[in-house]
Amino acid sequence: MRAVFMYGAGDVRVDTVPDPVLSEPTDALVRVVTACICGSDLHPYHSMPAGQASPMGHEFIGVVEEAGSQVSTVKRGDLVIAPFAWSDGTCEFCREGLQTSCLHGGFWAREGIGGGQAEAVRVPLADGTLVKAPVGEDSELLPDLLTLSDVYGTGWHAAKRAGVGQGDSVVLIGDGAVGLLAVLSARRSGAEQIVLMGRHKDRTDLGGEFGATDVVAERGAEGIAKVRELTGGHGARKVLEAVGHMPAYTQAVGVVRPGGVISRVGAPQYEEAPVGFASLFGPNVTLTGGPAPARAYIEELMPAVLDGSVRPGKVFDRTVDLDGVPDGYRAMDRREALKVLVRP
Amino acid sequence: MRAVFMYGAGDVRVDTVPDPVLSEPTDALVRVVTACICGSDLHPYHSMPAGQASPMGHEFIGVVEEAGSQVSTVKRGDLVIAPFAWSDGTCEFCREGLQTSCLHGGFWAREGIGGGQAEAVRVPLADGTLVKAPVGEDSELLPDLLTLSDVYGTGWHAAKRAGVGQGDSVVLIGDGAVGLLAVLSARRSGAEQIVLMGRHKDRTDLGGEFGATDVVAERGAEGIAKVRELTGGHGARKVLEAVGHMPAYTQAVGVVRPGGVISRVGAPQYEEAPVGFASLFGPNVTLTGGPAPARAYIEELMPAVLDGSVRPGKVFDRTVDLDGVPDGYRAMDRREALKVLVRP
């Protein structure tokens, strides 16, 4: 089959590799119908050292081609959504809805498991991992459903972890796909004021469609001042950080109200950050978030996607085939595309 | 009057200074009946540069000698508890119970306000700050009531911020007075298992009296392994950090369960700390806490102190007069005393 590999920063190629096969009785073999490129794929695209080849992609919808003898919840021919972590669904963390900490699970494109930017994927622990979608592979809803793999679930996680509720004032840092879907999530959680910090008009316009009430294009001290002015002078009680770079963290600390929450879902590209008296401790600010257990949210978020009352798939503004994936990375890196859909 | 001043690391003196006087109509003048030395006073005792003189003490109970014309909730002769921050009681943060972020408040021993280790203190915003205690100045309950100024409220804040509730498994880092009263607070909040990490037997014994179910004296990797073994292998859902030094933070990260909470109430002696994928983000750990709004908890905690069902004053194991305060600092610094009561 053909699959996408990254060979180093800026170096994405489509290779021909052996077809995946069932290896455990709990595996399923899934033919990928649609996948996509994630904003987080741009992190290795900027910094991966050369000298290795890493499979890519962690979001996909596909059709089960073959299911292992111990797989009982999906069968050959089912259209399934794969969340960005695979998990057993039965350990103490999965039962609590923290599938990203599954005791027996893991992540795509690591340790012998392929990535979603490919023609097919071996899915471990298929019963715990996959969710059947009640549509055909030609459904127009596929882009919307695909966001349940990661970006919509991740935006939802940001809002959940922050405890966004009725009447809340929320600041959203980052106008990427996750940021925009965090806007949608905050709106659906009842937030009244949603200030979106972002500089790309086409993106913040979509943010407005998803529910943002204010847009702040300024960054740094100017952006912080503007947000504070918009949120009663002392900042917002809930700040969702959907970028992962240090300036976004600094901005979050700057716009959060004393006693408020910063909920991070952008994978941090730093290990150390200010958390002392001057930043988090003094004003009793809570720092929360992490990789979203997207699997935990699929059943909850799917109905509104299926009935069309939300259209999270609007974040996709370009479609490519596998050969077009390297160009897709380039387009996302140059901000020419918000999020690229892949049809292998 | 006589008052305690710190002149630099290790240099505590008792000076004679002008008596405080009312300055604003919202002030009260309080004669200090009992005060104490705080574990956090040891931070400047270790590191304060010479060349200045700083008044000391932020916990005291006293008798109102004179109240300004706009003070209505306390009057001459009342015995009052002063929390470790003064606050107006009316701003948006005070109304939410976050008096440490009061828009018009502040802290003792700063910006022209004296400290509690003195014969008298001018109390700004007396209506918002002081709470009348329904006992006389000869009451045996004074040490217990004095803990409401800070250490009991701070331990309570740690438990509240962590959301400790019925049946919880809690780890307590630090066997100082705050740590021990966080044990008491966790127990009163319904925690079932309370693992106290501390190395001083007399202190951890008191922790046992307050409700600790297990004591771990080991530190570092060994301590982390032991706590994880005691808490089901994956760590505790609620970790209360009552020290403020980096090794305590590292220990907290080591013993917290994925999806769990670290609640800090030890004033951090660092500004940067690990919060990235390897520490907080990957396992979806929440970091919360800050300086306790002790004022918010006094009414809630006082009844059980008054009826004797809790005895938080057991943390005091030495009593000195003002002249004995320098020795009190030395004794606490050498761990010869847990917490020193001051009777000016």
- What is the ipTM for the molecules in this complex? 0.96
A51: left (phi over 0), alpha (psi -120 to 50) or beta: left
Per-residue pLDDT for B173 more than 90? yes
Per-residue pLDDT for B58 more than 90? yes
For testing contact with chain A, the best of B234, B275, B295 (most A CBs within 10 A): B275
pLDDT mean over B201-210: 97
- Percentage of residues in chain B having pLDDT higher than 70: 100
Q: How far is A196 from chain B, CA to nearest CA, in Å?
A: 23
Per-residue pLDDT for B112 more than 90? no
Test A267 with B284 for CB contact under 8 angstroms: no
Q: How far is B234 from chain A, CA to nearest CA, in Å?
A: 10
3-state secondary structure chain B: CEEEEEEECCEEEEEECCCCCCCCCCCEEEEEEEEECCHHHHHHHHHCCCCCCEECCCCEEEEEEEECCCCCCCCCCCEEEECCEECCCCCHHHHCCCHHHCCCCEECCCCCCCCCCECEEEECCHHHHCEECCCCCCCCCHHHHHHHHCHHHHHHHHHHHHCCCCCCEEEEECCCHHHHHHHHHHHHCCCCEEEEECCCHHHHHHHHHHCCCEEECCCHHHHHHHHHHHCCCCCEEEEEECCCCHHHHHHHHHHEEEEEEEEECCCCCCCEEECCHHHHHCCCCEEEECCCCHHHHHHHHHHHHHCCCCCHHHHCCEEECHHHHHHHHHHHHCCCCCCEEECC
Test B270 with A276 for CB contact under 8 angstroms: yes
Test A271 with B283 for CB contact under 8 angstroms: no
* Cα–Cα distance, B62 to A301 (Å, whole number): 58
Per-residue pLDDT for B304 more than 90? yes
pLDDT one-digit tens code per residue, B136-163? 999 999 999 999 999 999 999 999 999 9
Domains annotated on chain A, with CATH: 2-150+293-342 (3.90.180.10), 154-289 (3.40.50.720)
Residues in B closer than 8 angstroms to A279, CB to CB, are 271
Residue A196 has what pLDDT?
98
Confidence of residue B111 (pLDDT cuts 50, 70, 90): confident
Q: How far is A268 from chain B, CA to nearest CA, in Å?
A: 6
Residue A246 has what pLDDT?
97
Element containing residue A303 per DSSP (H, E): helix A294-306
Test A290 with B280 for CB contact under 8 angstroms: yes
Residues in A closer than 8 angstroms to B289, CB to CB, are 281, 284
* Cα–Cα distance, B120 to B65 (Å, whole number): 9
* Cα–Cα distance, B95 to B237 (Å, whole number): 30
pLDDT one-digit tens code per residue, A86-115? 999 999 999 999 999 999 999 999 888 999
Q: How far is B154 from chain A, CA to nearest CA, in Å?
A: 12
Per-residue pLDDT for B93 more than 90? yes
Test B274 with A278 for CB contact under 8 angstroms: no
Test B259 with A92 for CB contact under 8 angstroms: no
Test B281 with A289 for CB contact under 8 angstroms: yes
Among the partner residues A101, A273, A281, nearest to B284 by beta-carbon distance: A101
What one-character-per-residue DSSP string does A29-96 give?
EEEEEEEE--GGGHHHHHHPPSS--EE----EEEEEEEE-TT--S--TT-EEEE-SEE--S-SHHHHT
- Report residues of chain A scoring pLDDT below 50: none
pLDDT mean over B291-297: 98
pLDDT mean over B261-281: 97
* Cα–Cα distance, B286 to B263 (Å, whole number): 8
CB pairs under 8 A between A and B: 110
Residue B279 has what pLDDT?
98
Residue B161 has what pLDDT?
98
Test B271 with A278 for CB contact under 8 angstroms: yes
pLDDT mean over B114-126: 98
Using N-to-C axis directions, what is the helix angle for A177-188 and A201-210, rounded to 10°?
Answer: 20
